[in-house]
Copies of this chain bind each other. A is one copy, B any other.
Amino acid sequence: MARSITAPDGFGAAATHETFQLPPGRTLDICLNLHNAILEHRLAPGMKLSEDEVGEIYGASRTVVRAALQALAHSGLVTIARNRGAFVSRPGIREAQEVFEARALIEPRIARLAAYAMKASDLKRLKKHMDAEHAALASGDKGKALALSGAFHIAIADIADQQVLSQMVRSLISRSSLIIALYWRRADTTCESHAHHALLKAFSEKDGPAAEEIQKSHIVDLHSGLDLREKQEPKSSLADALKPD
């Protein structure tokens, strides 16, 4: 039946079976497909993921869908509430801060390791990634551009050939996508490309320390593109909301 659901359009496939530590199978297919949908902002934070509904879409029974949703829950993209079901996660401000602080700790190190491990073929792959990113941006597909931008970071981690750290980065970048969906305030996403270009230059020169430094600045810059001020909580009651007005 429905096998190989995820459209394998070359890039964008930020997640693999290792991301979820699941054996190949329909559960994994659904996982990856939902994962991509969330990363490309086709599913908004907070959206309900009903087991029946998802199962209907993929032509699978609840058993399989449940497993997929639980796997996504473990990776932080989905939140499960007992007897209430699964929702696309809505990371709070606090979590957003921590995710980017963690990225600022881990990714620069990875960038340095990647610079040392970089081969000519790797460089070429990274360049192709960037081109795809530009193309998506030019065609106005913001969701895809963002997903590709994340895939660029993941590609670096893969080149560094550190599976443990790579896994962490994957998770952090997935969560970053949700955070950006919720808190991004900057109109231009072009800054992205500049940093990625600079990284590529450092990589081509096998300059580890430079790559590390650029990556750190890049993450800090991304972080600063978020509006993480405490939002006005929705008033607890309608009366409270209207009284002072």
Contact = CB atoms under 8 A, between A and B. Distances in A.
A22 interface: yes
A123 interface: no
Q: Interface SS of chain A: helix, strand, loop or mixed?
A: helix
Interface stretch (A1-9, A97-105, A141-149): A97-105
A80 B23 contact: yes
A98 B164 contact: yes
Contacts of A71: 70, 74
Interface residues of A, number: 34
A21 B82 CA distance: 11
A198 interface: no
A109 interface: yes
Nearest to A96: B164
A32 to B, nearest CB: 14
A21 B95 CA distance: 15
Contacts of A76: 21
Interface in A47-89: 63, 66-67, 70-71, 73-76, 79-82
Given A105-B106, A106-B105, A70 B22 contact: yes
A22 B73 contact: yes
A163 interface: yes
Contact of A165 (B25, B66, B102, B165): B102
A162 interface: yes
A23 to B, nearest CB: 4
A24 interface: yes
Given A67-B70, A70-B67, A98 B25 contact: no
A92 to B, nearest CB: 10
A183 interface: no
Contacts of A24: 82
Contacts of A98: 162-165
A74 B21 contact: yes
Nearest to A106: B105
A95 B163 contact: yes
9 contacts: A21-B79, A25-B82, A66-B67, A70-B70, A74-B75, A95-B164, A99-B164, A101-B162, A101-B165
